[in-house]
Chain A
Amino acid sequence: MKTILFYIRKLFAVVKNEVLVLPSRVAVIFFFLFILLLPFFTDDVYILRIFTLASIFAIFAASWDLLSGFTGQMNFGHALFFGVGAYGAALLNLHYQIPPWGSIPLGALVGVAAGLIIGIPSLRLKGTYLALTTLAFPIILLGLVFTFPGFTGGELGISGIERLAPTRVQEYYIISVLMLGLCTIMWAITDSNTGIIFHAIREDEIAVRASGVNTTRYKLLAFCLSGFFAGIAGGLYAHFMRIAGPSTLEVSLSFQVVIWAIFGGAATIYGPIGAVFFLYPLVEFMHVLKDYRILMFAFVVLLVLLFMPDGLFRWLREKVEEECPRCKVRNIATRKTCRVCTAPLD
């Protein structure tokens, strides 16, 4: 009994002293609550559908950020991982009757393999070369999809895939809880030593190599991790839509993920997730604008970039929080002195 009370008190203290002091952390808590409680406010399958898809794309966008935002390996063909994951899960489910809980991770492993396959030749390439080369991979795969229609279904794709769960609310919970979990894992990775090395590779690869780090291994690791998470997103998409078709490999999807990630703020993980949860429902509910929908979307993106080129959510965070110049701890912008070391904040 005492221990329980102790932990409750500890939790309370952590919430009070570590969470409530920073608006960004409060926002994250609210985000978790919103995702978990949404079905209690609406059982509208349409709204749940939009947020389920948003969850899938949030995993996808965050996985791009893990690779391209953090290590700076600009991937312009991220749809490859998504498509491979979707096709992988779909084929396994359809031909070997592997249920979704097996086919999605296996599909994600195919995504890892894809990460290795494009990671190895891409190791020697940098910057724009890498970006434009990676753009080519999903297009080449699309060519293969059309070459072997017996296996891939050609332009029809693979349909008749098992549903994730019998009801929409269940599907929503499976996908959204997975999203919260996977995104937390991704955030933890970027916050770990590995993440610091990823970050350093982007800033100055030669310096990292000079410090005795095998950058090749870390870059490949980034490709594989990113491929894994994107593959899961693809597998979830296939089981949710119950079709895995060529549209999962199209250039527009690759572009879309880059837009989400950079719009929200690259190299943050939370930025791309926030961007997806902001832009995807926005674009969907803008259907009332009919023909002007995509146009408005493009304008919103352009305007945000003009005024916040570092991304919307990073900009917002800079506005409400400030970093202590002495101890580098973040503080709410309204404070005059640092909450840890009491140094004056300017």
Chain B
Amino acid sequence: MSIVLDIIISGVISGSIYALLAIGFSLIFGVARIVNIAHTAFYMVAAYCIYAVTNYLGWPAVPAMFIAVIFSVILGMVTYKLLLNPIREHEGAVLIATIAIAMIFEQVMSLIFTGTFLSVPKLVEDYFTIFGVKVFYQQLLTLGAALAIMLVLLLFLFKTKLGLAVRSTAQDREVANLMGINESFVAMITMGISVGLAAITGAIVVPLTILEPHMWTPPLIMMMAVVVLGGLGSLKGSFVGAYILGFAEAIVVFAFPMGAFLKGSVALSIMILVLIIRPEGLFGVYFEEER
């Protein structure tokens, strides 16, 4: 019985983390068809930003988090405008450009902060005990944030004019352009939102773990798996996919402690199995233009 509780709690927490990352990644893909490999690199930048503000300026964690998010959003929009927008038409080039951007961030961070492991303070300290399982308040925060962000994002997409523009661009870029939507601007705003989500995730997740310049690759792979599993460009899919893989990981860790290192492999195998049955992912749609 207790093992079931462990699995549920741990699955919900890691699922929420993946959901936060995957929603942002899925959003920019849906709108601009950009596979942003650098997505988790922005998450790393935000985390280092928090470290720098709390450590060198001595500020508390919450304002540091705001600064980090704002900084990352600006960085993301500038990157899009300068480096990605000019080559939007070349799918392969965009892909590599995002890899190169991620490498640049990694290198810059390792030049500034060296390769040593660092850590940042939690937004909320301490833990509580539920059914004999100790849970950090910070972990509870990830669940709350995942739900809240999903809600805000849905409100934004369905209740605001800009949201409408984003949705129509996602549906058909050319027609949206013809209808007078500044498609490039919408893509830039979406990039900002997407990176902002990555930054918020960084602020919430990184206090639980450690900071190092290569920290962007492990979550990247899981995030991509989630997005593919759920269906590219589908927010609902990302959300559901995140919890499926989160639970899959938790089951591996608790049911087969000797094989805890295999949790990533198992999650990826599940993704492939789902794709064999449903090639467009759980909630994905086939994009006509991508035939």
Contacts and interface: CB of A to CB of B under 8 A. Distances in A.
Given A147-B262, A309-B93, A259 B83 contact: no
Interface string B262-291: 101110110110011001110010000011
Contacts of B221: 135-136, 139, 251
A136 B225 contact: yes
Interface stretch (B96-104, B130-138, B142-150, B203-211): B96-104
A133 B275 contact: yes
| Chain A CB within 10 A, most for which of B29, B92, B271, B275 | B92
A146 B225 CA distance: 21
Contact of A302 (B35, B97, B228, B261): B97
A206 interface: yes
A294 B103 contact: yes
A291 B35 CA distance: 28
A305 B97 contact: yes
Interface in B24-55: 29, 35, 37
B95 A306 contact: no
Main secondary structure of the interface of A (DSSP, over half): helix
A258 B89 CA distance: 18
A216 to B, nearest CB: 14
Contact of A139 (B106, B264, B279, B280): B264
Nearest to A136: B268
Contact of A143 (B95, B265, B276): B265
Interface of B: 29, 35, 37, 83, 86-87, 89-90, 92-93, 95-97, 99-101, 103-104, 106-108, 110-111, 217, 221, 224-225, 227-228, 232, 259, 261-262, 264-266, 268-269, 271-272, 275-276, 279-281, 284, 290-291
Contacts, number: 125
Contacts of A259: 96, 99-100
Interface residues of A, number: 44
Given A121-B272, A136-B272, A306-B87, 9 more contacts: A125-B279, A128-B232, A129-B284, A131-B95, A139-B221, A146-B262, A255-B99, A295-B107, A309-B87
A231 B106 CA distance: 30
Contacts of A142: 265
| Chain B CB within 10 A, most for which of A139, A252, A298, A306 | A298
A126 interface: yes
Contacts of B261: 143, 146
A310 B290 contact: no
A110 interface: no
A133 B284 CA distance: 15
B96 A263 contact: yes
A258 to B, nearest CB: 6
A298 B107 contact: yes
A121 B275 CA distance: 8
Contacts of B268: 136, 139-140
| Chain A CB within 10 A, most for which of B110, B224, B266, B271 | B224
B57 to A, nearest CB: 26
A127 interface: yes
| Chain A CB within 10 A, most for which of B100, B108, B110, B266 | B100
